């Protein structure tokens, strides 16, 4: 059982549970795939439609396009070649599939591992930013809680209990181990399709009990298909006990807004997990497009 990770890897550590991903661990994970089938786990970055959170959609614009060439505002290059380029503006948390940095949440005046919160400024984190994480290569486990319960999606604001986590794992024939990336499927793609406005304000997830259970198993990452991994109830005060326990206390990364439906449809419960965040210097998180290889 792990009781907090501060100073576990020394007073200067900013990597957290990713320290568990030793070369030997990575090589063992590379032996997991059986079929070689690749499953993309990221949601498309949407610029239209109902936002998946109250942060709105991304803004995607072309800096130059075919119309600029047609009107002569931009001259072709070489022998009539044309080039289009893009601008993208998005709020990282809540807009697209993303990973939280260890400095995303804190308590009092301390970030993860006791680093001062005063090292954060409007230009980003000097300590515990997402750029400190080179990537994650490890064994992945899908706990399809919705599928195990025979539901298209869990009820909104349902807290996934430890008994449900263990029951689902036993049913799937998997065991949660040290260094794993544990992905929780609640079926919220289906709920978003049914009632996108409700999706923003309440969703299923683990509570503090579930977070403690996962931390005790020394996992490196917890991901979900929802906006926040932890349960959110419309009528409850906005608090983040799961984020604080996993990110801040244990250095365990969180990935949100995953697409887990294809993994679930093929009953792929154990796989090689690959994820490298956009190395945004000082970022409190970053877009990520993880892959599962079955």
For residue 91, the model assigns a pLDDT of 87
Domain boundaries, the chain: 16-48+92-293, 59-89
| Dihedral sign from CA coordinates of 19, 25, 27, 31 | negative
Provide mean pLDDT across the span 23-50.
Answer: 93
User: For the segment 218-267, what is each residue's pLDDT rounded down to a tens digit?
Assistant: 999 999 999 899 998 876 667 899 999 999 999 999 999 999 999 999 99
Ramachandran quadrant class, 200 (left: phi over 0; alpha: psi -120 to 50; beta: rest): alpha
- Kindly indicate the confidence band of residue 94, based on its pLDDT and cuts at 50, 70 and 90: confident
**203 versus 31: which is more confidently predicted?**
31
174-224 per-position pLDDT tens digit: 999 999 999 999 998 887 777 776 666 788 999 999 999 999 999 999 999
Which residues does residue 136 pair with via DSSP β-bridges, in sequence order?
Answer: 275
Question: What is the average per-residue pLDDT within 70-78?
Answer: 82
CA 9 remoteness from chain centre: 23
Between residues 21 and 234, which one has the greater pLDDT?
21
Q: Residue 127: its pLDDT value, please?
A: 97
Say what the pLDDT of residue 2 is: 53
Rounded mean pLDDT of 62-88?
84
The rounded mean pLDDT for the chain is 92
Which residue from 273, 272, 294 is spatially nearest to 34, judged by alpha carbons? Answer: 294
What DSSP state is assigned to residue 130?
Answer: G
Write down the pLDDT at residue 281: 96
Q: pTM for the complete prediction?
A: 0.94
- Count how many residues are written for the chain: 294
List the single range of 115-124, 133-142, 167-176 with lowest mean pLDDT: 115-124
- CATH classification of 16-48+92-293, choosing from 3.40.50.300, 2.40.50.140, 3.50.30.50, 3.40.190.10? 3.50.30.50
Average pLDDT of the residues in 21-32 = 99
Q: What is the pLDDT of residue 109?
A: 94
Is 53's pLDDT higher than 80? no
Q: Which of 30-44, 74-88, 235-249 has the highest mean pLDDT?
A: 30-44
Q: Is it the case that residue 1 has pLDDT exceeding 60? A: no
Q: Following DSSP, what letter does each residue of 68-128 receive, concatenated?
A: HHHTTSS--BTTTB---EEEEE--HHHHSSEEE-TTSS-BTTB-GGG-BGGGEETTEESSS
Task: Please give the pLDDT value at position 128.
Answer: 97
Residues in Cβ contact with 255 at an 8 Å cutoff, skipping those fewer than 6 apart: 97, 98, 99, 100, 183, 221, 222, 223, 224, 275, 288, 290
């Amino acid at each position: 059982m792990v009781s907090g990770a501060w100073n576990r890897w020394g007073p200067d550590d900013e990597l957290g549970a990713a320290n568990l991903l030793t070369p030997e661990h990575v090589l063992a994970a590379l032996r997991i795939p059986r079929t070689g089938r690749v499953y993309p786990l990221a949601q498309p970055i949407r610029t239209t439609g109902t936002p998946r959170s109250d942060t709105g959609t991304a803004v995607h614009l072309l800096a130059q396009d075919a119309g600029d060439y047609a009107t002569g505002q931009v001259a072709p290059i070489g022998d009539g070649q044309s080039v289009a380029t893009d601008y993208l503006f998005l709020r990282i948390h809540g807009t697209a599939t993303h990973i939280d940095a260890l400095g995303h949440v804190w308590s009092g005046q301390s970030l993860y591992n006791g680093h001062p919160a005063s090292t954060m400024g409007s230009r980003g984190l000097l300590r515990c930013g997402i750029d400190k994480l080179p990537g994650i290569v490890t064994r992945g486990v899908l706990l399809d809680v919705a599928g195990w319960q025979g539901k298209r999606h869990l009820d909104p604001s349902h807290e996934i209990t430890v008994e449900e986590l263990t029951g689902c794992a036993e049913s799937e024939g998997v065991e949660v181990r040290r260094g794993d990336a544990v992905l929780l499927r609640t079926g919220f793609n289906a709920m978003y399709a049914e009632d996108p406005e409700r999706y923003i304000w309440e969703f299923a997830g683990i509570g503090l009990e579930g977070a403690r259970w996962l931390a005790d198993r020394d996992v490196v990452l917890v991901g979900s298909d929802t906006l926040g991994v932890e349960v959110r109830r419309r009528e409850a005060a906005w608090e983040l006990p799961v984020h604080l326990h996993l990110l801040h206390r244990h250095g365990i990364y969180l990935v949100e807004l995953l697409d887990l439906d294809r993994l679930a449809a093929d009953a792929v419960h154990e796989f090689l997990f690959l994820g490298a965040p956009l190395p945004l210097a000082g970022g409190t998180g970053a877009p990520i497009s993880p892959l599962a290889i079955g």
